Amino acid sequence: MRKNVLAITAALLLGASGYALAESALPQSSTSGASSSHNPSTNDPTSSFPPEGKAGSQPQTSGVINGVDQKFLNYAAEDNQAEIQLCLLAAKRATNSALKAFARLMVDDHVEIESRLAALGNELHADLPDGIGKEGEMTISKLAPLKGNEFEREFIQAQIKDHSDDIQKFSQEETATQTTRVRQFATETIAILQQHLGLAQAVAAQLGNQTIGRGGQQQ
């Protein structure tokens, strides 16, 4: 993922000619990975998690989950699936090269997060939802009819809001949970979400520069 982040960042700095480089540097996203919800890979997808979580009073490890953690995992599963579907739409519909590259990166990263979440759910015997939730449905319903610059602006603003909200909720869970593996998942994912938020803000700034010309007049 870090290679992909650097590619998009370089594209934003290089300008239009760099967007094609960023897009070509990203692997082609597989929609089958997004549709096979909560199916962990044969390798351990959680091996890159930090080996230890924050200190806590007799933290739980595996095979058990409480109501608070279950609610968080439900939110994470629905939000992540909504992110995949929304970004698949953006990758297909957007015309701005930087935004298309960003959307493809989001799909790749959130498919990976989904795999890790599925493995965690299996470990903790937690049943995870398979849909996108009401909030995801509302966002997609709002953006689906839009096209062109209007779609791109609304999409990237939704990305900034969603990732900001996710960072807050994951951070709250990271502090509150007594389950070590849930804390590890939250900690690992927060770092990814923070990178996504920074990239979304950079793409939004680039879109603003394209649509606003001299004297503040829209081009």
- Residues spanned by the domain of 155: 65-216
Q: Does residue 50 register a pLDDT over 70?
A: no
Greater confidence, 100 or 210? 100
Greater confidence, 211 or 84? 84
Q: Which of 91, 108, 97 is nearest to 20 (CA)?
A: 97
The pLDDT tens digits of the residues spanning 64-97 come to: 689 999 999 999 999 999 999 999 999 999 999 9
Note the pLDDT of residue 8. 58
Greater confidence, 212 or 154? 154
Confidence class of residue 9 from pLDDT cuts 50, 70 and 90? low
User: Do 94 and 103 meet the contact criterion of CB atoms below 8 Å apart?
Assistant: yes
Q: Is residue 9 part of a domain?
A: no
Percent pLDDT > 90 in the chain is: 64
Q: Does residue 173 register a pLDDT over 90?
A: yes
Note the pLDDT of residue 197. 97
DSSP-derived secondary structure for 153-171: HHHHHHHHHHHHHHHHHHH
Note the pLDDT of residue 208. 85
Q: Out of 12-16, 114-118, 135-139, pick the least confident.
A: 12-16
The encoded tokens of residue 75 equal 């939110």
We report the CATH number of the domain holding residue 89 as 1.20.1260.10
Note the pLDDT of residue 7. 55
Q: Is residue 1 part of a domain?
A: no
Q: Does residue 120 register a pLDDT over 70?
A: yes
Element holding 23 (H helix, E strand): helix 16-25
Q: Is residue 6 part of a domain?
A: no
Percent pLDDT > 70 in the chain is: 66
Q: Is residue 111 part of a domain?
A: yes
Q: Is residue 4 part of a domain?
A: no
Q: Amino acid identity of 11?
A: A
Quote the mean pLDDT of the chain: 78
Q: Is residue 23 part of a domain?
A: no
Per the structure, the count of domains in the chain is 1
Between CA 107 and CA 215 the distance in angstroms is 37
- CA triple 210-158-151, angle to 5 deg: 50
Between CA 97 and CA 22 the distance in angstroms is 9
Greater confidence, 72 or 59? 72
